[in-house]
Structure 1
């Protein structure tokens, strides 16, 4: 009987990410699994053969913290990301609004107040858009600027009567002013934006995404967004594997038995791990604070040049209780903590959770870890908690973040080397819709240079191989997919150059030539 493979890739420069067999030139796939490398494939026939032409083959990149819905929304919105002045941004908004119906929404993406010098105002949006409803969403999604027409439709007059909000600037949950009016998206509309963002990710070498904040106030465009992912998957239009991360506010009180020890969950008690290798429930997300770009990350001392300590997303005691409750229920907890005070709360909650019910393989995760003090490093390692980082922020915002933290705290910024040396798993992600690709993030993690060339904490640099592991091996581990993904796998990307064989400064520019998901290959 003839032995037959589904796919063989020949003439490739293969980085397996497996220390036992680090390099290869030929790989075979059968029934969605790796059948072998190099000489292992002798004597096998194959249904399909691909000549890689000497290109580099790498396990599919894993983007462990994304917002595909928000990225898809931004892709369909007016993009003002190239603007450098308020007048330039307002001119583009005026052109987009011209001729639109009076009740139309003018949705704007790519907005960064630092890039244009200051925040836009509601009064300026009123003039530019002729009184129409305008929603200018900050690239961090932690703030928005809206026109007076949006504020006027808000029933909570006490909320919009605050001076800052009267100028149209909404921060954190104040953005529910927009949410109540514009959202939710219909299922078909939502499916289209998800598919567009997922296809963009795949063209960047990504074969697996985790969407952070499904169904909740942060990160979703509908409380039933999971249905859109299911519909895409069922129809074969979901181009990447997906892990869905329900937001804390999706959970509700459940009449569980007292012996179960927890109170909150989603219906049927479903939790992390439910689903398949293609679409499943990942961690439960708890957002503790805001973002660094808009000064709402919660700090123990104010950012340089700013008043206040940032923002708690909710009552700290209630959020800590939610983390412990989710741990008791068996969830993997994914805790958004950017400021050092938020890191304190996360560490305290994880410590209490493990003392209450030890779970040796909980694989809990801290999302971002923007400002990690030296004393946090050992505590995070001791707890076995991973840090899901966004190294591209160092390139796009490193100069600004360094100035916000000031000289005494600059070394806390998106750590790398110190976490790895302490035994903390460092997991890579982009946090799309923010700018940056996985290869840009790999370069930034190894180089720690901003777009201006300024290097942030060079002692925190990691090797290129370690940076690649953050987007492959550790991404698979944090999602419990290490048996099928992360090392050489049926998901792979084909790169124009080998990241290990070129100067670090050239990694972000490597072209992605193709990707395979579950052995299904596409050239670009």
Structure 2
């Protein structure tokens, strides 16, 4: 099927765009003339609104996002767990508090409950849930225990080990894809580490283009999760990096503390950097680390919207010495570090336009704010080159396209108010229906 997008804004000019068989085939006034011998094209009137390449979220956890949309959002209080429908397991997310099984028993005593801390690294279970998963609890420090040796209910980085003991509830990833497409997202980088073949196969059901950092057989960077309460030694980390590079694969290294970032940069300098090496988060990045990143040529995938959603906690809990160095953006770009904003959904806000708005008007560290267009360009960078050149609407490019409801300059005046009229992935309209035409 051929689609003729008429009167759309591309690179500031009103023009026409034609796509067929998943590719952009023509760009320019009069370039989309119908060729005889086939069905007539589907015509979409752009009315002067911006047509962009599809946005790519460079750091998201798809299966966790799908589960979060079907979970109880706890926030600062756990009382909402009592409202969960049904009689089986209760799943809570985004908890701002860390509690043990006794605290959860006081809220929901008669159903198994598991609640994920908003950091994403901690699960908290009540007594009924602990009894149900007892056969998968190991003797590692990841299972917190009281002085008597009994599990407290707090499990660290335990997702993969916990999964076999939980009810099977495969998410509808087509529905997840439609919700992402409604915000203009046509591709995602899933940052979940150590995916098994079942999870990889399930993720392939997502209609978006997909880069899997946790696929041991995949392309692109391999996720390396540094556990901040149990960091590797320098020799251990250099050996891990060298082994990945020998595959050959670059690494996407999770760094949310000053210590983990400096350790990682020292190890990368010792082993050597390969194209595609990147830092996930760089949550605390002091000036000396920024200079190091510049010298090494390592990209950074950051999450400025955490400053909005977690700002009060950062102001309370983060050392005043580190506050100026939270999620730097403008400073890294100015230093030549390829840097892009991303969501880290479901632990952060998935809406790219909300993230772009926060990147432009940060509630903490205003000097690190960037222009909305610069933040958008990060979402337009290629999956294997986060923070690199923005993809463009051009003949021969994939027909991954997003039609807004206004010219780009108008849309970027208030990114949170952006409406996505239609989204195409490989030429197939995923969002917008016929009303977009």
TM-score band, normalised by shorter chain = 0.7 to 0.9
Change in CA separation of 1:502 and 1:176 when aligned onto 2, cut-off 3 Å: closer
Distance 1:396 1:7 in 2: 40
TM-score (norm 1): 0.72
Distance 2:372 2:412 in 1: 10
1:245 aligns with 213
Question: Counterparts in 2 of 1:124-139, with a 5 A limit?
Answer: 124-139=103-118
Change in CA separation of 1:176 and 1:35 when aligned onto 2, cut-off 3 Å: closer
Match of 1:508 among 411, 416, 421: 416
Match of 1:112 among 96, 99, 102: 96
Distance 2:256 2:184 in 1: 27
1:464 aligns with 372
TM-score (norm 2): 0.85
Change in CA separation of 1:193 and 1:338 when aligned onto 2, cut-off 3 Å: farther
Give the unaligned 5+ runs of structure 1. Answer: 17-21, 114-118, 233-237, 248-265, 273-281, 290-297, 299-310, 450-455
Change in CA separation of 1:322 and 1:127 when aligned onto 2, cut-off 3 Å: same
2:56 aligns with 62
Change in CA separation of 1:40 and 1:316 when aligned onto 2, cut-off 3 Å: farther
1:199 aligns with 178
Match of 1:494 among 393, 403, 407: 403
3-state SS in 2 of match to 1:471: helix
Change in CA separation of 1:470 and 1:391 when aligned onto 2, cut-off 3 Å: same
Match of 1:33 among 1, 23, 41: 23
Distance 2:263 2:294 in 1: 16
CA contact (8 A) 2:124 2:154 kept: yes
CA contact (8 A) 1:426 1:474 kept: no
Query: Shift of the alpha carbon at 1:72?
Result: 0.8
Query: Shift of the alpha carbon at 1:49?
Result: 1.5
Give the unaligned 5+ runs of structure 2. Answer: none
3-state SS in 2 of match to 1:8: strand
Query: Shift of the alpha carbon at 1:420?
Result: 0.8
Query: Shift of the alpha carbon at 1:377?
Result: 1.1
Change in CA separation of 1:163 and 1:74 when aligned onto 2, cut-off 3 Å: farther
Match of 1:6 among 2, 22, 25: 2
CA contact (8 A) 1:60 1:492 kept: yes
3-state SS in 2 of match to 1:246: coil
CA contact (8 A) 2:82 2:108 kept: yes
Query: Shift of the alpha carbon at 1:145?
Result: 1.6
Change in CA separation of 1:316 and 1:195 when aligned onto 2, cut-off 3 Å: farther
1:344 aligns with 2:262: yes
Distance 2:71 2:149 in 1: 23
Q: Deviations over 1:449-498 (max 9, x none)?
A: 3xxxxxx2222121122111110025463499x8xx82225111122234
Query: Shift of the alpha carbon at 1:224?
Result: 2.5
1:225 aligns with 2:199: yes
3-state SS in 2 of match to 1:26: strand
Query: Shift of the alpha carbon at 1:8?
Result: 1.7
CA contact (8 A) 1:144 1:171 kept: yes
Alignment length (residue pairs): 418
